Amino acid sequence: MAMLITSIKDIKDKSTPDGFLLFCQEEGVNPESYTEPEHGVCVGKMDMYRYGATAAAQDLASSVKSMLSA
């Protein structure tokens, strides 16, 4: 499964509002006041789809495909 290390802000920017709240609930993050983890957060491709970050999930899938075909 493809995964991405990113920031909470990036997830918020690329997800739907409800998707971001789902992410926060699952990860124990306060959506109103959060601190970025030093090493980022790891998000799987399928989770990105669940959070409404479809474009980011498709970009990740394309990136993985290009690495595998090289």
Q: Is 67 exposed, middle or buried (0-12, 13-18, 19+ CB in 10 A)?
A: exposed
For the chain, percent of residues with pLDDT exceeding 70: 100
The pLDDT of 34-59, averaged and rounded, is 95
The pLDDT of 42-68, averaged and rounded, is 93
| pLDDT computed for residue 1 by the predictor | 76
Q: Is the pTM of this model over 0.75?
A: yes
**Average of per-residue pLDDT values in the chain:** 94
**pLDDT per position as a tens digit, 25-46:** 999 999 999 999 999 999 999 9
